[in-house]
Amino acid sequence: MRCITALQDLEQHSTMVNDIRIVEDSTRQEKGIEHRTSTSPDRLHDIEASPIYDIHHNSLYPRTNALQRWAYKLEGLAGVEARGIERVPESLRAKETTFADYAQIALIWFSANITANNLTLGLLGPLAFDLGLTDAMLIGTFGTLLGAIATSYIATFGPASGNRTLVVARYTMGWWPSRLAVLLNIVIMLGYGLIDSLLCGQILSAVAGGTMTVIVGTIVASTITLLVTVFGIRLFHVYERYAFVPQVLVLFVLVGVAGPKFGAGTASGGETAAVLSADKLSFFFLAASVPLSWAPAACDFFVYFPPSASRWKVFFCTLLGLSISLIFVVLLGVGLASGVATNPSWAAANSVSAGALITEGYAPLGAFGSFCAVVVALGNIANIIPSMYSCALSFQLLGKWFLMVPRVFWTVFAVVVYTVCACAGRNRFYIVFQDFLALMGYWTMMWVTLTLEEEFLFRRRRGGYNWADWNNQSKLPIGIAALTAFLLGWVGAVLSM
């Protein structure tokens, strides 16, 4: 018995010594002391292999529980990213930003949004708001641009701060009120995961002629999402770097085969001029809400970029990737919806599901069309992956007990939750969440506005941000003014509905 106790004490002592060494390494890196030489051409590999502790406030303790020890083992064995919401210090980031890095920013946003779920947004213009082809295309384009501009601004804080997006929100809304934004972001990301996976299941089921259930297709999409998201930022970047290629090809095929059936002459309806104006305004903000929904995640994917990265270049690369991809698929969705009234086969497919309508657009191509529809369905995974990555980080921001659970386990939890909800409520949740997520877009615009005011009206006159205080409650604002403005904005949004 004494031998066993002695061995346990020895093991605990060894673990403590290793942890102290890791923290010392982190301290040397934070001071700018180079203690190892990188030989890998892939800087993301080196970054993810680095210590992940914040040494400014001594608030993050290494390996305090079994889950965290498992996260370290997974990182060492399989390269799973162990870092969560911890700030990435300058010493662990690249020394400069290359043209390829800026191109990667644009490609990530492009790949994540040139997907079928965003195409269904375009369907709502003619089908839900009775808008003609021209009106719906113009309104969808300018609404998308507005939302993309707001998200592009938030994205610039990633390289500048090294903090995740809703960590940055602490500097605007305060330590406790910012958790309201965290909760809302979790709902948004889980909701979009639900919608994306359901749409993937609908398309795969339609291609299979009903022999495959929507549940099976949903589980397929969720499984692939989990495999990529669990590994973290490195595999995520690689996947998004190439995911757009098959999507662009098959969507251009859809333009070619379905384009001649678009209702080019359709006009906007509306019982009165006031009703028509309301419908146009509603679709405008619905189009803006999709890129806006990325604002609470916009920094999460670029915290490994150096603070010397140009904010203007980060802004324009984000805007380029977001706007081009979203505008293209929204216009394509508007075109498909405009043809429903004049094509009986499209109308019949639309009565089944949005996924069936997309599949019907490829019908003239036979087996090749079915293949293209499968590619479109699986393309939704590129949209779910960043959502679940951001969702897992948001769980850690709910409190210190949530922070003790590593990102990888929150990722698994999030994927399981939205998959179960999608399968259990596949006949109801899709429509419910479409309406609900459109409403959720209001809070992102209010938060972006508060962030603009914080930076340009207050921070620039007071010396800017101290990003090292990200986890120091005493150095962060209480957030009473921001919370009041946020809640009043919600009241105004509800009264104006």
To the nearest whole percent, how much of the chain has pLDDT over 90?
A: 49
Q: What is the pLDDT of residues 261-296, one digit of tens each?
A: 998 888 888 778 888 998 999 899 989 999 999 999
What DSSP element (H or E) covers 450?
helix 429-453
To the nearest whole percent, how much of the chain has pLDDT over 70?
A: 81
Of 3-17, 118-132, 288-302, give the lowest mean pLDDT range: 3-17
Interacting residues of 42 by C-beta distance below 8 A, sequence separation 6+? 234
pLDDT higher than threshold 90 for residue 27: no
Q: Which amino acid is at 326?
A: L
Q: What is the pLDDT of residues 181-238, one digit of tens each?
A: 999 999 889 988 888 888 888 888 888 877 788 888 899 999 999 988 888 878 888 8
Query: What pLDDT, on a 0 to 100 scale, did the predictor assign at position 435?
Result: 65
In degrees, to the nearest 5, what angle opens at C-alpha 496 toward C-alphas 491 and 497? 105
Say how many C-beta atoms besides its own lie within 10 A of residue 277's C-beta.
11
Mean pLDDT on 252-263: 93
Tell me the CA end-to-end span of the chain in Å, nearest whole number. 70
DSSP states along 192-254:
HHHHHHHHHHHHHHHHTTTSS-HHHHHHHHHHHHHHHHHH-HHHHHHHHHHHHHHHHHHHHHH
Say what the pTM is: 0.84
Q: pLDDT band for position 258 (50/70/90)?
A: very high
What average pLDDT is seen over the chain?
Answer: 82
Q: pLDDT band for position 438 (50/70/90)?
A: low
Query: What pLDDT, on a 0 to 100 scale, did the predictor assign at position 401?
Result: 86
pLDDT higher than threshold 60 for residue 493: yes
Whether the CB-CB separation of 447 and 295 falls below 8 Å is answered with yes
DSSP state of 93: S
Interacting residues of 134 by C-beta distance below 8 A, sequence separation 6+? none
> Please, what sign has the CA dihedral across residues 434, 435, 440, 444?
positive
pLDDT higher than threshold 80 for residue 74: no
DSSP state of 85: S
Q: pLDDT band for position 329 (50/70/90)?
A: very high
**What are the tokens at 319?**
């805007």
Between 266 and 16, residue with greater pLDDT = 266
Query: What pLDDT, on a 0 to 100 scale, did the predictor assign at position 40?
Result: 44
Rg from Cα positions in the chain:
24
Whether the CB-CB separation of 192 and 387 falls below 8 Å is answered with yes
Q: Which amino acid is at 435?
A: D
SS3 for 271-308 is CCHHHHHHHHHHHHHHHHHHHHCCHHHCCCCCCCCCCC
Q: Is 449 exposed, middle or buried (0-12, 13-18, 19+ CB in 10 A)?
A: middle
Query: What pLDDT, on a 0 to 100 scale, did the predictor assign at position 15?
Result: 40
User: CA torsion angle for 392, 396, 397, 401 (degrees, to 10)?
Assistant: 150
DSSP state of 114: S
Mean pLDDT on 77-84: 71
Given the structure tokens 């804080």, which residue do they identify?
Answer: 157
Report the residue count for the chain: 497
